[in-house]
Amino acid sequence: MSEALTLARPYARAAFAVARDSGNGAAWSQALAFAARLAADPQVHAVMSNPRLREQDAVTLLVADGASEEFKRFVAMLAENGRLVLLPEITALYEQLRAESEQVVMARITSASALPADELENLVAALRKRFGREVKVETAVDESLIGGAVIDAGDVVIDGSLRSKLQRLQSVLAN
């Protein structure tokens, strides 16, 4: 995984630079997300791994209608360099760069059950206050947490899950 991120990083930086210079950051986000979803599909992955796949065929396969010429050239370059399989990593790194430039914190809130809208709004407001920035939230459900939530915002992880509290209690009682 770390090797893929290392290989993907310069491509993500290049994509971000082109998107920023052209003022099309959001359009690039959408185009990259589309291409990454396709690249992650096992059937498409098998096609992309075929050495007989031409660059133009890769562009036709992975680029949505209406994408910019710069994006088409970017995908063609990935195909030429045999890096199409890195599209999911490139997309994730691109989104991190975009969030940093827009002063936005990306957070993932994983809870034991779906959070009610008002509770989610309260969490987002608390995160905004803590980071002093706009916060974009992605939510997920993990029933193994038993209760509570885990918030992952880049370098900051706040574990308020019941599972974690029980594990800490077990550790204290065992000593």
Is the pLDDT assigned to residue 88 strictly greater than 80?
yes
For residue 92, what is the domain's CATH number? 1.10.520.20
The pLDDT of residue 58: 86
The pLDDT of residue 82: 87
Select from 99, 128, 160 the last residue of a domain: 99
Is the pLDDT assigned to residue 154 strictly greater than 80?
no
Q: Which of 10-14, 76-80, 167-171 has the highest mean pLDDT?
A: 10-14
Domain carrying residue 147: 104-174
Q: Is residue 165 domain-shared with residue 123, that is, in the same domain?
A: yes
**Mean per-residue pLDDT of the chain:** 91
Q: Is residue 16 domain-shared with residue 94, that is, in the same domain?
A: yes
Number of domains observed in the structure of the chain: 2
Is the pLDDT assigned to residue 51 strictly greater than 60?
yes
Distance between the two ends of the chain, CA-based, in angstroms?
Answer: 36
Q: Is residue 12 domain-shared with residue 81, that is, in the same domain?
A: yes
- Please write the tens of the pLDDT for every residue from 22-37: 999 999 999 999 999 9
The pLDDT of residue 1: 54
For residue 127, what is the domain's CATH number? 3.40.30
Q: What are the beta bridge partners of residue 157?
A: 152
Q: Is residue 89 domain-shared with residue 10, that is, in the same domain?
A: yes
Q: Is residue 129 domain-shared with residue 149, that is, in the same domain?
A: yes
Q: Is residue 9 domain-shared with residue 69, that is, in the same domain?
A: yes
Mean pLDDT value across residues 139-149: 91
Q: Is residue 32 domain-shared with residue 86, that is, in the same domain?
A: yes
The pLDDT of residue 48: 82
The pLDDT of residue 175: 77
Q: Is residue 62 domain-shared with residue 115, that is, in the same domain?
A: no
3-state secondary structure of 153: strand
Place of tokens 């949505």: 64
Q: Is residue 117 domain-shared with residue 93, that is, in the same domain?
A: no
The pLDDT of residue 11: 96
Select from 55, 81, 99 the last residue of a domain: 99
Identify whether the C-beta of residue 140 lies closer than 8 Å to the C-beta of residue 108: yes
Is the pLDDT assigned to residue 17 strictly greater than 60?
yes
